[in-house]
Chains A and B, each alone.
Chain A
Amino acid sequence: MLQSIGAPSVDTLFEQIPAEARLDRNLRLPPGLAEQDVVSLLEGMAARNKHLGELTCFLGAGAYDHFIPSVVDAVISRSEFFTAYTPYQPEASQGVLQSIFEYQSMVAALTQMEVSNASLYDAGTALGEAIIMAHTTTKRNTVLVSRAIHPHYMQVLSSYVSGLGIKIGKADYADGVTNLTAMREHLDESVAAVVVQYPNFFGGIEPLEALTEAAHAVGAFMIVCVDPIALGLLTPPGAYDVDIVVGEGQPLGIPVGFGGPFLGLFACKQEHMWKMPGRVVGATTDSEGRTAYTLTLQTREQHIRREKATSNICTNQALMALAATVYLSALGKDGLRHVAELTFQKAHYAQQQICGKAGYSAAWNVPFFKEFVIRSDKPVDQVNQRLLDNGILGGLNLGKYYPELENHMLLCVTERRTKEEIDRLVELL
């Protein structure tokens, strides 16, 4: 090979690196390991984590222990999917492209919106993108974000839009949902968008209809961040005429994985599709008239528009979108409804049992789905330590995020929790 190149040695090829920039020693890395040794090493590291097979999980707050049917991993383990790149060459990428088209269709169905993109990173960043889209479309510079959204999402969207002159106003909550009266007081024609979560961070079901009417009354966008499992049961945001729906797709067949990779859902009204961030797949035909799928609306994107692109996003979470597509296919409309109802019933049973115990009560009387807030007489960390000692992962200590919610915990119950596990939790509280 060197002969063909006309170079005496491989080192010659690296001589274009100026001497002062060359590394003249070995990297200080541990020595290379054989395959069996790296497996042992990583198995050892994994064993130093307590996983949800060892702990009974009543923790949610943005990462959810829903059951993943076996078909999901079977499909996403196919290397035709996981070792492919972004489908730039449609003639050789119909597999990935069609699966993304099906994903977009399912996200549209679930949210009852007209269009969806091919995925974003996670819910927090999807909210950031949605806010930027509302800002560029309405040319307004303020957004009103409910304090009842996930505090991490609040942090992410704040950093995300920090360079663009967008002001984040925070709308307070009352009785576990966004305070509509306070929200209305802050709404005027400088507001680009109103942002809420559905169900919200506390598990409460927001009054989307009234919130959307209030936002639209001043010409602002309504942006809603959803839990897709809840949409198996709850009226979807699209039914309330909201403008953009984002969400965390992790519950759709993706493991909690210490927080990632997750899946950012993004859907909107058709009239806004040219302002959408990220990749989009469309249906068309090939030169022989056969149905074909291809990346489309590319003139929005960075590789063509450079600094004028609607977003800088290119790599997304395609394999996670495939996991969600397989999950939603396996469950279908009946299965997703059933999972949502199981979750709903078990969460309500758990909440009732806990509230029946001395020293524990519901923080608010508000309709909820799978998460709920409990006020405790004891410090939450103390309660959680006792639970952990008994193999139970307790709820989130809300006092760490909301000073006014000292001694409040956010619990989550999915369809995976059995009555026996719930009863044991209650007993140990």
Chain B
Amino acid sequence: MKQRQEPLIFDLSREGRMGTTLPEVDVPEISIENALPEGGIRKDLPLPSVSELDVIRHFTHLSERQISVDSSFYPLGSCTMKYNPRVNERISRLPGFTSVHPLQPEETVQGALTLMYELERYLAEIAGMDAVSLQPVAGAQGELAGMMVVRAYHQSREDDARTTVLVPDSSHGTNPATAARVGFQIAKIPSNERGTVDIDALKGMLGPNIAGLMLTNPNTLGLFETDVVKICEMVHDAGALLYCDGANMNAILGKARPGDMCFDVMHFNLHKTFSTPHGGGGPGAGPIAVKDFLKPFLPVPVIEKDGNRYWLNYDKPQSIGRLHSFYGNFLVMVKAFAYIRMLGAEGMREVSENAVLNANYIMSKLKDIYPVPYDRYCMHEFVATAKEHKKRGVKALDIAKRLLDMGFHAPTVYFPLIVEEALMIEPTETESKETLDAFIQAMIEIDRESREDPDMVAHAPYNTPITRVDEVGAARKPKLTCFGE
């Protein structure tokens, strides 16, 4: 990565420059002033004026100050930063996909509808569920859709007392945030000494006020919830539904299915499990899958098939409604579709086998120096603790920063919240043993440094474009645009 600072694009601005060329007006002109209400024309527009070369150089310089999957191993736990196959990009740029208007007549978009319909069927099979909606555009929106379905189900039975949703203390923050968005109260279930849901505590919490349980499986510690079938029974016996946060599906593709574990509703993250790129923070896609009895509540429109013709059905009186201006992030779906077709059933299973193998391999090499609080085989990721390092003055965050110096992205740190000084490491299946070994070496090296020169580690990084950032200052005096003081 480049050390050189890059000015803001606004600072490159010179009057009269433009980064493209535009045609002249080819129709008879009218007076804009007369056609608009008085005061309706804008006077000032403080956007930069730069040449096309300025634009390209500026953003190229910025790209040189950025770490990515293509440049570096990216073991960011819970995020599944696998390689993004380039064929997906090529396909998703076909004009037959990019240049199709969402409101075109159905007979002119049969290819797009076929793709969506078939992708729904593939995801339903992978989930062990009956029906899928591709509409949610991110994991958190998938959760929102799923929990709205849960609410609609209870409402349809006039079971209005179910106002509380249970979430484990190890859950993603989006689970409680989403359930609150849907109007539920939240109650937190503690984890047991094995890192999974405490069954006795759960038993005590279930009752006629519980709408559902949101469970990530494997959970955020990278551990399979071994009691999942029992948990499902208990939850169902109490009249509540079971929601699966599918963020960790990369661990169980073709090996186990949430539907078979008796989950009622789940979401996928196409940008995690199905290789679509993260784009520096999005766009993603968060389709949901449900059992048959929840199908009437899925968002509209629903894609239907009559013979060889596909169409959009809006006539779903029990639907939770619409959650996106159109049908979701279609071009992301195209990439996930291509990925599933490339891999097929065997390829899917191999993804999870290699993801789990890679995670266990790193864990086996590091657990003596970075202890794991729950010492058992992990799934696709594991959580280690740096609490011993902290005693020497080196926190999990410092280890993360030192890894940046060594050319790796950092693991997720301080999550899940139940592990002190957590380092959450997810290698994914696409990395070679050589890359894993290099990462392991770096972690061993940092451990050595933490003994010999903890202060040095505590002030890392040094080789990055910038050093530690004043985050407190950023929040205390927020400067969110280049204007003003």
Chain B residues with CB below 8 A from A320, complex form: 279, 282-283
Instruction: Give the interface residue-count category, chain A.
Output: 35 or more
In the assembled complex, 26 residue pairs joining A and B whose CB atoms fall closer than 8 Å, in A order, are A13-B357, A27-B348, A48-B110, A49-B96, A51-B95, A59-B104, A75-B56, A75-B59, A83-B277, A85-B409, A86-B280, A121-B283, A152-B325, A165-B183, A233-B41, A258-B102, A261-B137, A284-B473, A315-B138, A315-B284, A316-B138, A332-B19, A333-B49, A345-B27, A346-B26, A348-B30
Chain A residues with CB below 8 A from B48, complex form: 329, 332-333
Q: Is the CB of A32 within 8 A of B343?
A: yes
* Chain B, 20-75, CB within 8 A of any chain A CB: 20, 22-23, 25-30, 32, 35-37, 39-43, 45-50, 52, 54-56, 58-60, 62-71, 74
* Contact bitstring A10-40, B, C-beta under 8 A = 1, else 0: 1011111110111100111111110100110
* Contact bitstring B364-382, A, C-beta under 8 A = 1, else 0: 1100000000001101000
Q: Is the CB of A84 within 8 A of B325?
A: no
A-B interface contact total, Cβ < 8 Å: 670
The residue from B45, B409, B474 contacting A92, defined by CB atoms under 8 A apart: B409
Indicate whether B311 reaches chain A with its CB closer than 8 angstroms: no
Q: Is the CB of B50 within 8 A of A307?
A: no
Chain A min CB distance to B4 (Å): 11
Given known contacts A83-B69, A98-B8, A153-B325, is B62 in contact with A57 (CB within 8 Å)?
no
Q: Is the CB of A304 within 8 A of B173?
A: yes
A95-B66, A116-B481, A345-B30 known; 16 other A-B pairs, CB under 8 Å? A5-B361, A10-B356, A38-B91, A75-B56, A91-B467, A93-B67, A96-B281, A110-B47, A116-B480, A235-B42, A258-B101, A259-B327, A305-B177, A313-B138, A332-B17, A333-B46
Given known contacts A53-B95, A258-B100, is B468 in contact with A104 (CB within 8 Å)?
no
The answer for the CA separation of A320 and B279 in the assembled complex, in Å, is 8
Indicate whether A363 reaches chain B with its CB closer than 8 angstroms: no
Chain A min CB distance to B432 (Å): 11
Indicate whether B444 reaches chain A with its CB closer than 8 angstroms: no
* Contact bitstring B140-175, A, C-beta under 8 A = 1, else 0: 110110001001000000000000000000001110
Q: Is the CB of B465 within 8 A of A367?
A: no
Residue of A nearest to B228 (CB): A21
Q: Is the CB of B475 within 8 A of A299?
A: yes
Q: Is the CB of A313 within 8 A of B228?
A: no
* Chain B, 111-139, CB within 8 A of any chain A CB: 111-112, 114-115, 122, 125-126, 128, 137-139
Q: Is the CB of A83 within 8 A of B84?
A: yes
Indicate whether A326 reaches chain B with its CB closer than 8 angstroms: yes
The answer for the CA separation of A84 and B70 in the assembled complex, in Å, is 8
Chain B min CB distance to A69 (Å): 4
Q: Is the CB of A273 within 8 A of B480?
A: yes
Indicate whether B428 reaches chain A with its CB closer than 8 angstroms: no
Q: Is the CB of A118 within 8 A of B281?
A: yes
The answer for the CA separation of A7 and B127 in the assembled complex, in Å, is 28
Chain A residues with CB below 8 A from B199, complex form: none
* Chain A, 51-96, CB within 8 A of any chain B CB: 51-53, 55, 57, 59, 61-63, 65, 69, 71, 73-75, 77-96
Indicate whether A403 reaches chain B with its CB closer than 8 angstroms: no
Q: Is the CB of A280 within 8 A of B345?
A: no
Chain B min CB distance to A252 (Å): 11
* Contact bitstring A402-420, B, C-beta under 8 A = 1, else 0: 0000000000000100110
Q: Is the CB of A236 within 8 A of B42?
A: yes
Chain B min CB distance to A417 (Å): 9
Chain B residues with CB below 8 A from A236, complex form: 42
Q: Is the CB of A80 within 8 A of B68?
A: yes
Chain B min CB distance to A184 (Å): 19
Q: Is the CB of B99 within 8 A of A26?
A: no
Q: Is the CB of A38 within 8 A of B87?
A: yes
